[in-house]
Amino acid sequence: MAGTAEKYLKPEVIRQVSRLDLRAKFIVEGFIAGLHASPFQGFSVEFSEHRKYSSGDNISDIDWNVFAKTDRFYVKKFQAETNLTGYLVMDLSASMGYTYRQELTKFEYGVSLAAALGYLMIHQQDPVGLIAFDEKVRQSLAPASKRSQLGNILSMLARLGPSGATDISASLHQVAGMLKHRSLVMIFSDLLGDHDAILKAFHRLRFAGHDLIVFHILDEAEAEFPFEGMLLLEDNETHETIEVDADAIKADYLEEVARFRANYKADCVRARIDYVPLHTGVPFDKALMSYLSLRQARA
Amino acid sequence: MEMSLLNAGLAAGAALAAIPVLLHLFMRQTPKHVVFPALRLIRERQKRSRKRMRIKNWLLLLARMAVLALMALALARPRLYSEAPLGDETAPTALGLVFDTSLSMGYVEKDKSRLDEAKDRAREILGRLPDSSLVFVVDSAAPGVPSGLPAAAALKVVDGLSVQPVNRPLNAAMGQVYAGMAECDRPVHMVYVMTDLARSAWSPDRPAEGLDLVATKGKDKGKTGSARPRTATFIMSLAPREPRNVSVEEIQPSAGVATDGEPLSLAAVVRSQGTAPVTRSVEFYLDDKKRGEQQVTIEPGGQATARFQTPPRFGDGVVHRAEIRISGEPDPLTDDDRRCFTFKVRPPLRALLIADSSIDSEFVAAALDPDPTAATRSVRVERARPADLARMRGDDLRGFAAVFLLSVAELDDMGWGLLAQYVRDGGGLVVSLGPRTLLENFSGVVPSQLLPAKLAAKAVAPDGATFGKVADLTHPLFDQHGKELAAQLGLVPVFRYWNVVPTENAGRALVSYSNGAPALVERVFKGPRSGRVLLWTTPLSQLPSAAPDPRRNPNLWNLFPNPSSGWSFLVLMDQTVSYLAGATSDQLNFEAGETALIALDPQSRFSRFLLTSPDGKTTEELTPSPTNQFLEVVAPRALGPWKLSAIGPDNQATAMGFSVNVPRGESRLTPLEPSDLDVIFGKDGYQLAQDVQTFKDQERTMRVGHEIFPWLMFLIMLVITVEGMVANTFYKEAKTAEPAAA
């Protein structure tokens, strides 16, 4: 990641970019640059509006402007082939607003990621919508593939903020009820809720024919437990406290986190849901890569 | 098993075990407040692992407390005892030092005799003896209960010890030392036995004396009423590591008394103990003049015999001394490298054969004195008729080494009386029963008191009967030829014999017939000179007969004297005279420790005796027994030939003497087995050390017990390791969480 653009894949760098649209742009451009320099170079990702004319294409789809400039035939419309409605589903729970020592909270990390994905999808002319929930769906934006949709999404994301308790499963059930067509649902959440209930909600979405990508975002401190000594830990949603010896429980806690993630992963694999474990110290390209893998598979 | 602490005060440090608890209670950190949304994960985990965590916490706490407690305990130097401890090295001690001063302690190894080594050990022990201690020194040569001495005085006694030829078993010495220490009020009682553990120095089949005085566990009370401390017995083995010794084991003379004009044969048995064959020169001295030398090669553990012969004429004096010496390479044990043999020289033996007819004595006479015209004869035979006895006086028989009564029909009371007197004076009588023997005459009062068996009746032997079993092959009559002689006797046909019943508690059957009936019966009359009667129940002659069939010829009783029956007759007749003559000879050779009882000629009235030790340095005046029959020299101590000068009333001196040799067992160096020591001291009644280090370790252990410090340190290391493992499992290094891309 030595390139200028690629540095924006790092959460601590993107934190310095205050405008969300720019964040999204930088993340995506950094990602693309990284792709070209990476072992994934052969990964054929067509996100352009144009592609070369080939036999059988409708002549009316030829972009004559491009032909005028390049003297080559390009068709500009292929939504019909790749049209995949995406929903960015944001968890607004208070726990998402947590960070211990990272630049971005889980929520900010998720918003940046969502913005980047939205940017990416809009540029691929995929319709993208946005849904935000805490105990229930609080905000939603119908999907659209217009350029203006990106602005709407970013503007809504920028206005969102984590607060209060959450009920992920109920909210996702609600989301499932809202979606009428087969869609790609991208969930950004720390999944700190009732595992079985959340899984049921995943299943409902999945069995309704939607593709799911679960971006499981934990704070870097939650993932690696960097604490030492005696701690009085407080849940910022329930305000419950517990006193622990950090050194004594670290190993057990990390085992529990691994088990927590492994359970979700196993359940998601069984339901053919893409599960992407992340924490706020992880570069964005991992998340984007998983999206593109799915996008490629659908294309 | 009991335990005590050498530094008991330091054991209080075990209270330090409370430190982890106190630290836990008072040094608790104020927890840092941290917002942590994933609290539910911790709670989930705690739900499942709370019990395990609690156990781990307790384990850790216990391990840490244990480490501190064990360290405090280790510093207190705990010790374990199987029995009550003796006490530390500063406690006043009643110390018994028992020295084995037997000849085997003269064995030299690394330029030091075993006794010198023992003295060195004793000096070490005395050197570190606490003040106010008392030492009881006993050596196996000196009887009597020792008195307690200060260490300095005891050291002088120890320095003065030397190897002694005469020793009592160390079992007795133990009794002396235990008795001496029994009433000593010192709090610590210890006995050290310095010995090479040679079997000859102990009585392995009986317990040490005075063991009842050795209280255990300090519960017994002495005469003073105070508790008697336990006495610890340490045995320091000073046995040579690889004993090697060449010794003159025995001198076997062809006769106990030499006959003037006949050479005396001496067989010197030389024995070797070791791991390699040895070659030695065996030298023969007669009256201090070297008369012969032979080289012998002896296998390890084996023996060789060197044979020497004296000249036929011995020169002046009745008593002479032969000596066998080993020369060649230096020997670690020198006392047994020589052996002396004192013997008397006398004129040829006289044997009186009494028979009714000459034919009855012919075969015996031919066997004893085959050539009456020869210049040198070992036995001079004289013949007599029974009637001649009546004309004899009591003293007339005294000059005969043996009297044979051969197939005599009867004797008058006078004759029987004479023979009885002769036997009681130490004479040897041989009686053979024959066809004419009258039962009534031989069953009379006097013959019944003389003969070894009561005559019953004549008996016809079963077909094919021979002489049968020899009861004791070690009997002097048979020991020279042993089994060969017994086999020869088994070839002699016997047709008739007298049935006899051996006299109860007096008659002993030496040879029986093949049907078990007694053939030769002996009776011994104990006295200053033991007399012997040998009774053959079949004749020692063979009457000429026209009828060779024994069934038809009542005079044919056996073919014993017949040369066709082998050589047993000749050998037995010869041995008989030697044996009976030996009975009238004096014993002049003794082993160290034996009391020398020198028989005196009652006719010579000696008023006093001058006894000179072998080295000639000491002379002692002795008086004979009131009966003037023997002179008693109680356990002469020096080895070698002792000279004895008997002074008569007219101040005429007669040269006599005797020899004292090393007891045979001393040369063997056979060590006691641990099982023997168990018998002597009881299974747990002693500590045996083979070397100095073991000796010191055992003493320390007995004094202060088994120190378990090393084991505690090992335990501490173990607990620390366990604590580390538990802690590591508890606070194990967390794996870096690597979120994987889907």
Would you say residue B708 has pLDDT above 50?
yes
Three-state DSSP class for B406? strand
Residue that is written with structure tokens 């016997």 in the block: B494
- Please report which confidence band the pLDDT of residue B347 belongs to, taking 50, 70 and 90 as the band edges: confident
Q: State residue B218's pLDDT score.
A: 45
Model confidence band, residue B732 (pLDDT cutoffs 50, 70, 90): low
According to the model, what pLDDT value does residue A228 have?
84
Residues from chain A contacting residue B734 (CB–CB below 8 Å): 224-225, 250-251, 254
Which positions ≥6 away from B413 have C-beta within 8 Å?
Answer: B444, B446
CATH class as words, domain B93-242+673-704: alpha beta
pLDDT greater than 90 at residue B115: yes
For B740, the closest chain A residue by CA position comes to A277
pLDDT for the residue A11? 66
Give yes or no on whether B93-242+673-704 and B349-583 have one common fold: yes
Q: How far away is chain A from the Cα of B735, in angstroms, using its nearest Cα? A: 8
Q: What is the pLDDT of residues B171-185, one digit of tens each?
A: 999 998 998 888 888
In A, minimum Cα distance to B56 occurs at A248
Helices (H), B220-271: none
Instruction: With CA atoms as reference, report the closest residue to A233 among A244, A249, A219, A218.
Output: A244
Please indicate if any CB of chain B lies within 8 Å of the CB of A195.
no
- In the block, tokens 């009976």 appear at B580
In angstroms, the CA A167 to CA A175 distance is 12
Q: What is the mean pLDDT of residues B607-636?
A: 83
Best to test chain B binding among A189, A194, A242, A294 (most B CBs inside 10 Å): A242
List the domain boundaries for chain B: 2-81+710-730, 93-242+673-704, 258-319, 349-583, 593-661
pLDDT value, residue B353: 94
Q: Locate B533 and state its tokens.
A: 């009667």
Please determine, for residue B457, whether its predicted confidence score (pLDDT) is greater than 90. yes
Across B2-6, B16-20, B334-338, B645-649, least confident range: B2-6
DSSP-derived 3-state class of residue B438: coil
Is residue B477 scored above 80 in pLDDT?
Answer: yes
Question: What average pLDDT is seen over chain B?
Answer: 83
The first and second tokens of residue B453, run together, are 């068996």
**What pLDDT does B569 receive?**
92
* Chain B contact probe: residue of A257, A261, A263 with most B CBs at under 10 A: A257
Give yes or no for residue B453 having a pLDDT over 90: yes
Q: What residue spans define the domains of chain A?
A: 5-79, 82-298
pLDDT at site A130: 92
- Give residue B86's pLDDT: 55
- Interatomic CA distance for residues A124 and B25, integer angstroms: 64
Measure CB to CB from residue A192 to each of B28, B40, B736 and give the nearest one: B40
Of residues A95, A227, A278, nearest to B34 (C-beta): A227
Q: Is A282 on the interface with B (CB under 8 A)?
A: yes
Residue-wise DSSP of B182-218 = HT---SEEEEEEEE--BGGGS-TTSPPTTGGGS-STT
Verify whether the Cβ–Cβ distance B33 to A236 is below 8 Å.
Answer: no
The maximal CA–CA distance of chain A, rounded, in angstroms, is: 72
Measured CA to CA, the distance from residue B409 to residue B531 in angstroms comes to: 23
> For every residue of B516-562, which 3-state class applies, written as one string?
CCEEEEEEEECCCCCEEEEEECCCCCCCCCCCCCCCCCCCCCECCCC
Vertex B142 angle, CA B136 and B146, to 5° = 25
* Contact residues on chain B for A218, CB-CB shorter than 8 A: 38
pLDDT tens-digit map of B662-680: 887 787 888 888 889 998 9
Mean pLDDT of B595-600: 81
The whole-angstrom separation of Cα B268 and Cα B393 is 43
Within an 8 Å CB–CB cutoff, is residue B45 touching chain A?
yes
Q: What angle do CA B262, B264, B266 make, to 5 degrees?
A: 165
- Token pair of B7, please? 């530094």
Q: Identify the pLDDT of residue B296.
A: 92
Residue B3 to residue A189: CA distance in whole angstroms: 68
More confident position, A20 or B378: B378
Q: Which residues of B touch A253 (CB under 8 A)?
A: 41-42, 45
Q: Which residues of A112-127 are buried (b: 16+ CB within 10 A; e: fewer)?
A: bbbbbbbbbbbbbbbb
CB atoms within 10 A of CB B471: 15
* Of B400 and B547, the one with more pLDDT: B400
pLDDT at B576 over 60: yes
The rounded distance, in Å, linking the Cα atoms of B152 and B309 is 55
Four-residue CA torsion sign, B664, B666, B668, B674: positive
Count of Cβ atoms closer than 10 Å to residue B691 Cβ: 12
The verdict on domain B349-583 having CATH code 3.40.50.880 is: yes
Q: Which of A104-113, B55-64, B276-285, B695-704 has the highest mean pLDDT?
A: B276-285
**Which of the two residues, B249 and A74, has the higher pLDDT score?**
B249
Cβ contacts from A onto B, under 8 A:
128
- Is A223's Cβ below 8 Å from some Cβ in B? yes
State whether B31 and A230 contact (CB < 8 Å). Answer: yes
The arithmetic mean of pLDDT across residues B414-430, rounded, is 90
For chain A, 299 residues long, give each residue's pLDDT as a single digit of tens.
344 555 555 666 666 555 666 666 667 766 665 554 433 333 333 444 567 787 777 787 787 877 888 888 877 654 444 567 889 999 988 888 888 888 788 988 888 888 888 887 777 777 889 999 988 898 899 888 887 888 888 888 888 888 878 889 999 999 998 888 888 899 999 998 888 999 999 999 988 888 888 989 999 888 888 888 888 888 877 888 888 888 878 888 888 899 899 999 999 988 888 888 888 888 877 777 766 776 566 54
- Nearest CA-CA distance, residue B78 and chain A, Å: 37
Segment B516-531 mean pLDDT: 88
**Which residues are CB-contacts of A244 (< 8 A; sequence separation ≥ 6)?**
A230, A231, A233, B31, B42
| Residues within 8 A of A (CB atoms), B 718-737 only | 730-737
User: In chain B, what percentage of residues exceed pLDDT 70?
Assistant: 87
Return the axis-axis angle of helices A20-37 and A147-159, rounded to nearest 10°: 110
B593-661 under CATH 2.60.40.10, yes or no: yes
Cβ–Cβ below 8 Å for A253 and B29: no
The pLDDT value recorded for residue B451 is 94
Q: Do residues B562 and B542 touch, judged by C-beta distance below 8 A?
A: yes
* Measured distance between the N- and C-terminal CA atoms of chain B, rounded to whole angstroms: 68
Per-residue pLDDT reduced to its tens digit, A88-112: 999 988 888 888 888 788 988 888 8
| Inter-chain CB proximity A257 and B737 less than 8 Å | yes
**Considering only CB atoms, which chain A residues are within 8 Å of B741?**
276, 286, 289-290
Q: Which CATH class is domain A82-298?
A: alpha beta
Average pLDDT over residues B260-274: 88
> CB distance from B27 to chain A under 8 Å?
no
